[in-house]
Amino acid sequence: MDFLPVSHFPYDNTVVARSPREISVKGVKINQPNLFSHMAVSYHNSSNLMRELSTFAFCALRGSSPLSRIVTHSLALICKNSGYLRLASVALPSLRPGQVLVNVRACGLCRTDLYAIEGRIRTWHRRFIPGHEFSGVVTEVGPKVSDIAEGMRVVVNPIIPCGLCPVCEADEAHLCPEFRQMGVDLNGAFCEQVIVSAEQLYPIPDSLSFEEAAFAEPIAAALGVMNAKIELDARGAVMGTSRIARLTWRVLKACGFSQVCLLDNRQAEQLEAPGFDFVVETDMSTEIFNQMVRLIRPGGRIVLKSRQYQSFEITLRQIIPFQPVIHVVNYGPFQSAVDLLTSMELEVSDLIGDRLSFDEFQSAIEHGQLDEQLKTFLIPGSL
């Protein structure tokens, strides 16, 4: 049994339902300890997912007696040390005004998750819950929430703007430079239940699967290319053959780009004086950047889209003759991503890969089994 201070999980975005004073897990009754400042976490390593969890918690809530509200649990994959995940039951407070509880039905795995788990990018705490591409069903609505109802199918925007900077005040929150991301800057969605602000929710129709809906975040990232202000009739190319490259290419086509192609490195090397107006990368390296310089026309645009943690080199003497315009782009509007999905103008079903349980998902991550061609999903409710 490991005891984690409640301060290790102080976030507003992960929670569970209520519990009686005597908790029953798999028919086994557990008396709660006289413990108000810590929560008890029992890790789960069973290969058959029997979930014999001895998890319980007390927490003194703000402005109330410790016994007036009992915090309960949700299974979650916790990154305890770099590259090391444990399946545990975590406890968190009740809903605050403006918050909702979402039952996670599908959460995708992407490079950012692996970078965070491996410690290649800094996270908010040494113990955290990864995951940010997810959808689910609203199971509880907090005070002062309107237009959101229990049972509503939703996809969640994991990018949380600061709300205070000039960009946010100009109603362009998707361009906020001070944003926080679930699964990195606060806890994420590799769990059964998660608390989020109602403002992060976007309803989805029954015709859209939870896995398809979870593509909204990478689609919003692909829509960031539109921030480069490229004309729709411009001739361009997307570098790469991974699902990210294919998704980016499809997003541009769906947005009206009629002269954009998908190029792998071999194809790019075989092109003679291609003269593209713009080139978009999806997996940056020094080699890829030099290739992009060769592919564009003089004065063409190089669009840096991927979120690589490692550095790459730019040799000014090499690129000056081409006078490229270099655009580093972030996100497009999340609503636009949801609209593309719900309009059925963008096909993503063929990019869905394995749907894994907690144990299977944990093993796949720890063995570095990231499928670059198809997206792997955690399905928390699966056994």
DSSP 178-228: T-EEBTTTB--SSBSEEEEEGGGEEE--TTS-HHHHTTHHHHHHHGGGGGG
Per-residue confidence (pLDDT) for residue 36, from 0 to 100: 24
CA 353-357-363 angle, to 5 degrees, is: 85
Question: Residue 136 corresponds to which amino acid?
Answer: G
**What is residue 61's three-state secondary structure?**
coil
Asked whether the whole model's pTM tops 0.75, one would answer yes
Element (H, E) at 96: none
According to CATH, the superfamily of the domain at 2-215+349-378 is Medium-chain alcohol dehydrogenases, catalytic domain (3.90.180.10)
| Contact criterion met (CB below 8 Å) for 377 and 106 | yes
Given a contact cutoff of 8 angstroms between Cβ atoms, the answer to whether 247 and 240 are in contact is no
Tokens of 109: 């795995």
Q: How far is CA 166 from CA 174, 226, 271, in A?
A: 12, 20, 43
Q: What is the pLDDT along the chain (383 residues), one digit of tens a residue?
A: 333 333 334 344 433 322 322 222 223 332 332 222 223 333 333 333 233 222 222 222 223 222 223 336 789 999 986 778 889 988 866 889 999 999 999 999 998 998 899 888 889 888 999 999 999 999 999 999 999 999 999 999 999 999 999 999 999 999 999 999 999 999 999 999 999 999 999 999 999 999 999 999 999 999 999 999 999 999 999 999 899 999 999 999 999 999 999 998 888 888 877 899 999 999 999 999 999 999 999 999 999 999 888 889 999 998 999 899 999 999 999 999 999 999 988 999 999 999 999 888 888 887 666 778 999 999 997 64
Measure the CA–CA gap between 154 and 100, rounded to whole angstroms: 11
For residue 382, the model assigns a pLDDT of 66
Q: Specify whether the CB–CB gap between 79 and 274 falls below 8 A.
A: no
CB atoms within 10 A of CB 48: 7
Which pair of tokens denotes residue 232? Answer: 């729709």
CA nearest to 366, candidates 18, 31, 86, 16: 86
d(Cα 209, Cα 355) in Å, to the nearest integer? 13
What sign has the CA pseudo-torsion 262, 268, 274, 277? positive
According to CATH, the topology of domain 221-328 is Rossmann fold (3.40.50)
pLDDT at 179: 94
Q: What is the Cα–Cα distance from 143 to 100, expressed in whole angstroms?
A: 9
304 C-beta neighbours (distance < 10 Å), count: 20
Compute the distance between CA of residue 282 and CA of residue 330 in angstroms, rounded to an integer: 12
The residues spanned by each domain of the chain are 2-215+349-378, 221-328
For 168, the token pair is: 């946010």
Which pLDDT score, from 0 to 100, does residue 369 have? Answer: 66
